[in-house]
Chain A
Amino acid sequence: MELLDGFQAALSPENLLYAVIGAILGTLIGVLPGIGPTAGIAVLIPLTTVVPPAGAIIMMAAIYYGAMYGGSTTAIVANIPGEATSVITALDGYELAKKGRAGPALAVAAISSFVAGSISLVGLSVFAPALARWALEFGPPEYFALLMVAFSLVITLSGRTLLKGVASAALGMLVALIGVDAYSGGTRLTFGIDAVSAGLNYVAIIIGLFAVGEVLFNVEKDVKRIYEMAVTRWLPTRHDLKESAAPALRSSVTGFFLGLLPGCTPVVSTMIAYDVERRVSKRGKNFGKGEIAGVAAAEGANNAAVSGGFVPLFALGIPSGATMAVLLGAFMIYGIQPGPRMFTEHPDILWALIASMYIGNVVLLILNLPLVGIWARLAKIPFPALAGLIVVFSIIGAYSVRNSMFDVWVMLIFGVVGYLMRKLEIPLAPLVLAAVLAQLVESSLRQSLATSHGAYTIFFTRPISAVLMIAAIVLIVRGVWVYVRNPERKSAVLEDVD
């Protein structure tokens, strides 16, 4: 019923237009070199402030899943994953493209994304409200414990970059704590600089880290023209579709359930789901060598994990990765705090958003199938022509949140920081995740301790928080144990996230 109301709202000409614009912008962001979905969304957040909140949020979400669709185009056509999750798509997609089958690979990617998107949206509509109802019983101790689980997953998945991952998360939280403390009224970590007493704008920080950092990275590499492949025939054969159907369905289900885990980013979910499919599929041994079923599996898992990630975001207010953290930040700008109360306080916006995702999924299929050739051609725009524009958009984005040149300088500083972090292999995702969640972590800890009169045992005397805290501790101990035993073990996760 609520979903039907959501459809009614989402199908209003105005909201439909925002969804279509968002899907097109997102696909562009995914396709164009030099800007990923995290940076793209961060840059566009301030510019959506001219749109009413419901429309802006619909547009933001459409940009996100549009970027996920678009990212696969460059991964297949040029072996350049537009965003991290498309790395897996490139394994088979690019091999197919080299055999002259880029078109069918792109079409199967689009169809598989559509199937996965549809299945996981049904899952989202069912699981998110149920989880939110359960989470309504959460008090501050449960929230704090849940946040600890999310952070401990970041640690567990860090592998060789454990220390860098933890340091990145600590930096993110510290950056978010700069300025006036809402409880005591005193300033913290300002180093006597008045301009920072209002705090650093996290949109500016994210734009700097991802957009400007990415431009600097490509400038250093002297990237010019990277997309050279022509796409002539895009229709998949009946055999292609038959081969792809089961992997797309199976990986959608696996990807969705993995996407539910807070802290388990779409990259991780896609990698695991692809690996599962490789083991299960009859043609699994050919995965990575140009297998159309591999493209279907990767894209299915990727898109299902994205929708799965919306479940903890909507139901618990916990983002599953950096891009979700940026979306969370965008919601907060519009005065909407994702979490269990969102279902009771803003059901109209929430269900309109979920309904708009169903619509966006169809819009993206329509955009992606016949326009595959156009997207591939757009991907050939030389980076030098785009570099300046990305910086212009970044500056406009950072400036317009508070109409402040100070935010522009913050963004530029964090652009250099982001570039250096990337060069030093310090993952950016924990920083963003921590920066967005820092206030929630501290306030839930404060409220918990106020309830317990300062006793930290409160986290272990309430059943849900005790289970979550023990899970967090086990995950942390396991992560540290694995690292200490083999500190040079390569992580396939956080290093690829950024």
Chain B
Amino acid sequence: MSVDDQAETVPDDSAEPRNVIARRTADIAAGAGLAVIGTLVLSQAVRSRPGLSERLDPRTVPVFLSAALVVCGLGLIVAALRYKGAGGVLDWPTAKGWRRVGLATAAFVAYAQVLVGFGMAVATAVFVAGVEWALDRGSILRAVAWGLASGVAGSLVFVALLDVQLPAGPVDNLIASLVGG
């Protein structure tokens, strides 16, 4: 976030009610999420096998921490309900922003999935080109060239030269054999 952006987060009176509601909702959601995670972990922690002879039972620290998580979550909800609006504008995504984040996450997952089957060079070329084009909406040719360069360079440096044990496909093997790896 730029400093100018940060300066813009000073609340302005006309927008305050919406901002207050957004922040309150977000803090309630965060508090509820933390309390739920804390409860789940707490239930799991108390069911762990107790220690036999240790002075500190292996369950003690997880139980303490998960209980702290529940308390913090509930505290956050209470604080959110009492919130009067002095905390600045919450930087919450628009619907378009959420869609972009969702698509990006799906692309990352797809890349990780395809990497195993197709190897570093091919998967990286397709992924980098796709991401570049999707985010920039510029020249397809440039995106493809950037993707190909990234795929080949990535495979050359990491698989062939540095010998990082990444999933390798036929193209990676070809590149490795060309450089004598």
Contact = CB atoms under 8 A, between A and B. Distances in A.
Does chain A bind chain B? yes
Interface of A: 46-47, 50, 78-81, 87, 90-91, 94, 160, 163-164, 166-167, 170-171, 173-174, 177, 181, 183-184, 186-191, 212, 215-216, 219-222, 224, 382-385, 387-389, 391-392, 395-396, 399-400, 403, 405, 408-409, 412, 415-416, 419, 423-426, 441-442, 445-446, 449-450, 452-454, 487-488, 490
B116 A405 contact: yes
B122 interface: no
B171 interface: no
Contacts of B158: 47, 396
A167 B72 contact: yes
A219 B135 contact: yes
Given A164-B30, A384-B131, A391-B111, A184 B51 contact: yes
A488 B84 contact: yes
B177 interface: no
B55 A174 contact: no
Q: Which 4 A-B pairs have the closest CB atoms?
A: A384-B135, A388-B131, A388-B128, A186-B49
Contacts of B100: 219-220, 222
B169 interface: no
A426 B27 CA distance: 10
Interface in B24-42: 26-27, 29-31, 34, 37-38, 41
A164 B76 contact: yes
Contacts of B83: 488
Contact of B48 (A81, A186, A409, A424): A186
A426 B30 contact: yes
B68 A166 contact: yes
Contact of A450 (B55, B108, B154): B55
B10 to A, nearest CB: 10
A249 to B, nearest CB: 26
A177 B61 contact: yes
B2 to A, nearest CB: 5
A55 B79 CA distance: 49
Nearest to A223: B135
A389 B6 CA distance: 28
Nearest to B134: A384
Given A174-B66, A216-B101, A400-B166, A395 B54 contact: no
B179 interface: no
A478 B87 CA distance: 21
A425 to B, nearest CB: 7
B145 to A, nearest CB: 11
B48 to A, nearest CB: 5
A354 B3 CA distance: 34
A392 B54 contact: no
A183 B159 CA distance: 39
B86 A423 contact: no
A487 B79 contact: yes
22 contacts: A46-B164, A50-B164, A94-B3, A163-B31, A163-B75, A174-B66, A177-B65, A186-B51, A189-B48, A189-B62, A216-B105, A220-B98, A222-B97, A384-B131, A384-B138, A388-B127, A395-B115, A400-B166, A412-B108, A423-B91, A442-B56, A446-B54
